[in-house]
Amino acid sequence: MSPSAMNQVPDHQPLFGKVALIGVGLIGSSLARALHRHGLAGEIVGHARTEEGCVRLLELELCDSAHSDPAEAVQDADLVILCVPVSANADLAEAMAPGLKRGAIVSDVGSVKQAVIRDVDPFLPEGVHFIPGHPIAGTEHSGPEAGFAELFENRYVILTPPPGADEEALEKLSRLWQACGSTVEVMDPAHHDKVLAITSHLPHLIAYTIVGTAANLEESERREVVKYSASGFRDFTRIAASDPIMWRDIFLNNREAVLEMLQRFSEDITALQRAIRWGEGETLESLFRHTREIRRGVVELGQAGTFDPREPEKASTAEPIRKED
């Protein structure tokens, strides 16, 4: 697609004149594609750490321009979205602060919100509106080549404005995500972190552990694990293939909520272990029936299948459905 075709937008005024994406990996590149597709930005500027990375963003036609200097990238931007691992937020916020204009909206896509507020808010100049966000969407792939415009369709985006946040900025950011096909929810940052600890962070921790356990088996057993992974193990390997730097940061920055949920999970595993040891079939069946009902609820809410809407979801639980993050 040529740059002129890429930038062709519908006959309406863009929601934002200039959008700066700080970090253009899976989420950032998907957002760039969605912004182009729906005509939500008059201009899109990207930031990459190296000049080579900036050149790659232009080669992929994701941005109108790209800069390795964060302050240059955000110059005159109406909306700035941090799309980087949580540990990078503080340094980038400090570096880009001199380029932020009064009235700009700053947001992010991180999976831990209290840490983002802690690391970003102190560096933002007066008059800049901070609305942290978290699109609950992704795949096991990473990098600017991995993005696609449909990533956010029929997915939730949680916005966690700190106390006193500008209502107009919140409403405008909500409209952007809705235009990308998402359902927007507003949530307290601490509550978000606790909810995501059980729905996303703990499942990833379990997946990493199971795959790590398999990797430590004897060589002959390990070959069979790979050979027969078309069963449940396959889904764990997909989750465990997620970006290691991003997930390292998530666990370190949401440690209290994750440890709380991990303790509860450990207690439940102990009870399950006891039921298996003592042949308590009714206990096992009751648990499995209850969890099956939860799965049906997930399917009914349209949150089953993968995060790739290009792959149709099965409407029934009668056949296996690939698990999402």
Q: Are strands 133-135 and 156-159 parallel, antiparallel or unpaired?
A: antiparallel
210 band by pLDDT with thresholds 50, 70 and 90? confident
Query: What integer pLDDT is reported at residue 247 of this predicted model?
Result: 87
The span from the CA of 236 to the CA of 14, in Å, is 41
Structure tokens at 74: 């955000």
The span from the CA of 43 to the CA of 58, in Å, is 13
- C-beta separation of 24 from 64 below 8 A: no
The span from the CA of 161 to the CA of 168, in Å, is 12
**Residues 50-69, mean pLDDT to the nearest whole number:** 96
Where do we find the tokens 């509860």? 264
CA nearest neighbour of 61 among 143, 151, 147, 1: 1
The residues, any chain, with a CB within 8 Å of residue 307's CB and separated by 6 or more, are 137, 138, 139, 151, 155, 324, 325
The span from the CA of 123 to the CA of 94, in Å, is 5
The residues, any chain, with a CB within 8 Å of residue 28's CB and separated by 6 or more, are 21, 22, 46, 81, 83, 109, 144, 147
The span from the CA of 185 to the CA of 34, in Å, is 19
Query: What integer pLDDT is reported at residue 325 of this predicted model?
Result: 35
Query: What integer pLDDT is reported at residue 230 of this predicted model?
Result: 65
Structure tokens at 18: 């200039």
Strand, coil or helix: 258: helix
**Dihedral, 121, 114, 155, 312 alpha carbons, nearest 10:** 120
> Over the stretch 265-320, which tens digit does the pLDDT of each residue have?
999 999 999 999 999 999 889 988 888 888 887 777 766 655 455 554 433 333 33
- C-beta separation of 197 from 261 below 8 A: yes
The span from the CA of 55 to the CA of 57, in Å, is 5
Query: What integer pLDDT is reported at residue 141 of this predicted model?
Result: 84
Residue percentage of the chain with pLDDT more than 70: 88
| Res 11 pLDDT > 70 | no
Query: What integer pLDDT is reported at residue 305 of this predicted model?
Result: 58
- C-beta separation of 68 from 53 below 8 A: yes
Element (H, E) at 81: strand 79-82
Strand, coil or helix: 107: strand
CA distances to 141, 177, 197, 198, 260 from 256, rounded to whole Å, are 27, 29, 9, 12, 6
DSSP string, 168-211: HHHHHHHHHHHHTTPEEEE--HHHHHHHHIIIIIHHHHHHHHHH
